[in-house]
Structure 1
Amino acid sequence: MQYFEDIEVGRTASFGHYAVTREEVMDFATKYDPQPFHLSDEAAAATHFGRLSASGWHTCAMTMAMLVAHLKENRQAGLGSPGIDELKWVKPVYPGDTLRCENEVLEKRVSASRPEMGIFKSRMRVFNQDDVVVMTFVSNGLVQTRPQDAPAPSA
């Protein structure tokens, strides 16, 4: 299990592979962001997007799916998040794109009011298949501190 003490400031990780489909873009938009450029080729063609594009919120959801899979694979003792900062949708995401993530730990500290948990900030960058950044944000993660009876990781 990876605890707060195991998180290193400056550490980077690359992970994820998410194929964006037209059906998913339209399904998400229908349910959560029903703007014409997310639902209609004709409407999208008349905008700066040029063609049907995924909602930025859908891009966030796809990124979350990749992030959770990465955290489960690396067995982090995560406790959720109090939020994100500096969310930027840099470039449109289109059906047919394949997304991936790069994350860098920026800082960390033990919670003053809850010493059984630590807080860390990291910068997430999401890329498409052409290595173009499509979204960035700074996340604030909560993670359990190592219990006294938990073994330290082996080197």
Structure 2
Amino acid sequence: MTRQDDRDDNGAAGSLRLDDQLCFALYAAQRAVTAAYRPLLDDLGLTYPQYLVLLVLWERGETSVKELAGALRLDYGTVSPLLKRLEGAGLVRRERAADDERSVLVACTGRGEQLRERAERVPGALLTTAGLGTQEIARLREELWKLTERADAAADRR
């Protein structure tokens, strides 16, 4: 019996049951996915948030801390310690922008770029472990981005 099978016909609309909460299902899924990534990222010497930072840098190249924080949907105070640890590990470098002293630019070092090759196996390994096909992943990702957009819009209205 799945969690859904255990519900009454009212669904989650007015329920205060933990398992009926969309936010809890998302939270539990996020924790499970992060846990599944952990052994793969341990092999790279990265935490999940550090991996996300590197994904942005591998995709975009040198970028400002502000743009990096925006891409990750994190605030500067959260991104800054991540960058400090990555810089200490020799994977990224930070420097003030020549044209704007207030802006800090971040880029991968050669060592950070080399890690990219090893990291390329991570997404596929997770899909294999989770038993998800590419179409299922694409559909799920699309639905999650729709939910994100709607939740952002609802938060902006408040």
Query: TM-score, with normalisation over the residues of structure 1?
Result: 0.29
Q: Taking CA–CA contacts closer than 8 Å with sequence separation of 6 or more, which of the two structures ends up with the larger relative contact order?
A: 1
More strand by share: 1
TM-score normalised by length of structure 2: 0.29
Q: Which of the pair is proportionally richer in helix?
A: 2
